[in-house]
Structure 1
């Protein structure tokens, strides 16, 4: 069964649901699936990520090997 057929079958079953608690649970599942993890971050976390992206665009990065050498005494 392809995706469109499964969706149609699901809609048909959904129309028959009479228990409101089941509908509430389905709504929660659908809402949870639509959230982007980025939206859940604080403004300061979003700013820090943007700073890192800006630095990467400018080439202000350190390679993995260099980082591993620098911190090898703790590894």
Structure 2
């Protein structure tokens, strides 16, 4: 069975199922399996983002034009 056929079969099973508990378990499983981009970042990338958020929370901001001048 190829992947597309398997997906369609799973969809058919879900659509035909009226058991709320089953649907909830499937939903929970899918949510758990979904990759979070945060987990794919390195620790240094995560720290940079956290620092940026802290800076923004403290009111430290740079205008877009200033940023463009800095990087060009």
Normalised to the residue count of structure 2, the TM-score between the two structures is: 0.51
Q: Which has the higher contact order (CA 8 A, sep 6+)?
A: 2
The runs of at least 4 consecutive aligned structure 1 residues that moved more than 4 Å come to none
1:50 match: 44
Equivalent pairs counted in the alignment come to: 44
Cα deviation 1:8-62 (Å, max 9, x = unaligned): 01111111111101110000000001143845xxxxxx8xx217xx9xxxxxxxx
Aligned to 2:15, what secondary structure does the other structure show?
A: helix
Per the alignment, residue 33 of structure 1 pairs with 33
Query: Gaps spanning 5+ residues in structure 1: where?
Result: 40-45, 55-75
Aligned to 2:3: 3
Larger radius of gyration: 1
State the TM-score, normalized to the length of structure 1. Answer: 0.49
Gaps of 5+ in 2: 49-72
